[in-house]
Amino acid sequence: MKSYPARYSKAQIKIQEMAFVLVAFVVFFVIAGLFYLSLRMSGVRGDVQAQSESDAQELIRTLAETPELRWSSTASDCEGCIDMDKAILLKDDKLKIFSELWNVDRLSLEIIYPEKNGECSSVNYPECGEITLLNKSTSYKLYGSFVSLCRLDSSGSRICYLGKIYSSAKELK
Amino acid sequence: MRDKKAQEEVVGFAVVVVLVSVIFVIILGFSMNKPTTQDKQSTDVRQFLESIREVTTDCSLSGSIPANLKELMGACYSRTYCSSGAKACDELNNTMKDILEASYSPSEEAHIKAYIFSIDFETSSSQRENLITQKSGNCSSNSYRESDDFFPYTNGQIFTELRLCY
Chain A contact for B8 (CB, 8 A cutoff): no
Q: Do B55 and A162 touch (CB under 8 A)?
A: yes
- Among candidates A28, A80, A160 on the partner chain, residue whose Cβ is nearest the Cβ of B55: A160
Q: Has residue B38 got a pLDDT over 60?
A: no
SS3 label, residue B166: coil
Which of B81-119 are b and which e, b meaning 16 or more Cβ less than 10 Å from the residue's Cβ?
A: bbeeeeebbebbbebbeebbeebbebeeeeebbbbbbbb
| Per-residue pLDDT at A171 | 62
- What distance in Å separates residue B138's CA from the closest CA in chain A? 23
- What distance in Å separates residue B130's CA from the closest CA in chain A? 24
Q: What is the distance between the alpha carbons of residues B161 and B153, in angstroms, rounded to a whole number?
A: 16
Q: What is the distance between the alpha carbons of residues A69 and A54, in angstroms, rounded to a whole number?
A: 21
Which residues of chain B have a CB within 8 Å of the CB of A145? 44, 47
Q: Has residue A172 got a pLDDT over 80?
A: no
Q: Has residue A18 got a pLDDT over 90?
A: no
Sorted by where each begins, the domain ranges of chain B are 1-34, 43-165
Mean pLDDT, rounded, for B51-59:
93
Q: What is the distance between the alpha carbons of residues B53 and A121, in angstroms, rounded to a whole number?
A: 27
Q: How many pairs of residues across A and B have Cβ atoms under 8 Å apart?
A: 74
| Per-residue pLDDT at B3 | 61
Whole-prediction pTM: 0.77
Q: Do A113 and B55 touch (CB under 8 A)?
A: yes
- Among candidates A24, A32, A148 on the partner chain, residue whose Cβ is nearest the Cβ of B24: A32
Q: Has residue B37 got a pLDDT over 60?
A: no
Q: Has residue B2 got a pLDDT over 90?
A: no
Q: What is the distance between the alpha carbons of residues B114 and B105, in angstroms, rounded to a whole number?
A: 9
Q: Do B55 and A57 touch (CB under 8 A)?
A: no
Q: Do B102 and A47 touch (CB under 8 A)?
A: no
Residue in chain A lying closest to B31 (CA) = A40
| Per-residue pLDDT at A47 | 78
SS3 label, residue B146: strand
Paired strand residues for A148: A81, A162
Q: Has residue B114 got a pLDDT over 70?
A: yes
Q: Do A114 and B98 touch (CB under 8 A)?
A: yes
Q: Which is more confidently placed, B131 or A90?
A: B131
- The string of pLDDT tens digits covering residues A97-130 is 777 777 788 889 999 999 999 999 888 988 999 9
- The string of pLDDT tens digits covering residues B140-149 is 877 888 999 9
- The string of pLDDT tens digits covering residues A29-78 is 899 889 888 887 877 887 777 777 777 778 788 888 888 888 887 666 78
Can you give chain A as a three-state secondary structure string?
Answer: CCCCCCCCCHHHHHHHHHHHHHHHHHHHHHHHHHHHHHHHHHHHHHHHHHHHHHHHHHHHHHHHCCCCCECCCCCCCCCCEEEHHHHHHCHHHCCCHHHHHCCCCEEEEEEEECCCCCECCCCCCCCCCEEEEEECCCCCCCEEEEEEEEEECCCCCEEEEEEEEEEECHHHC
| Per-residue pLDDT at B1 | 54
- What distance in Å separates residue B102's CA from the closest CA in chain A? 6
ipTM, two decimals, is 0.77
pLDDT band at B35 (very low <50, low <70, confident <90, very high): low
Residue A82's φ and ψ, nearest 5 degrees, are -105, 135
Q: Do A160 and B13 touch (CB under 8 A)?
A: no
Sign of CA dihedral B88, B90, B95, B96: positive
- Of these ranges, A4-8, A56-60, B75-79, B141-145, the one predicted with the greatest mean pLDDT is B75-79
| Per-residue pLDDT at A2 | 65
Q: What is the distance between the alpha carbons of residues B1 and B28, in angstroms, rounded to a whole number?
A: 41
Which residues of chain A have a CB within 8 Å of the CB of B32? 39, 43
Mean pLDDT, rounded, for B90-111:
91
**Angle A63-A65-A67 (CA atoms, 0-180°, nearest 5)?**
100
| Per-residue pLDDT at B78 | 92
Please report, for residues A78, A112, A142, A167, the alpha-carbon distance to residue A104 in angstroms, rounded to integers and kept in the order given: 25, 23, 11, 7
A125 exposure class (CB count in 10 Å sphere: 0-12, 13-18, 19+): middle
- What distance in Å separates residue B73's CA from the closest CA in chain A? 16
The answer as to CATH 2.60.40 being correct for domain B43-165 is no
- Among candidates B9, B24, B51 on the partner chain, residue whose Cβ is nearest the Cβ of A146: B51
- Pick from A17-31, A82-96, B13-27: least confident: B13-27
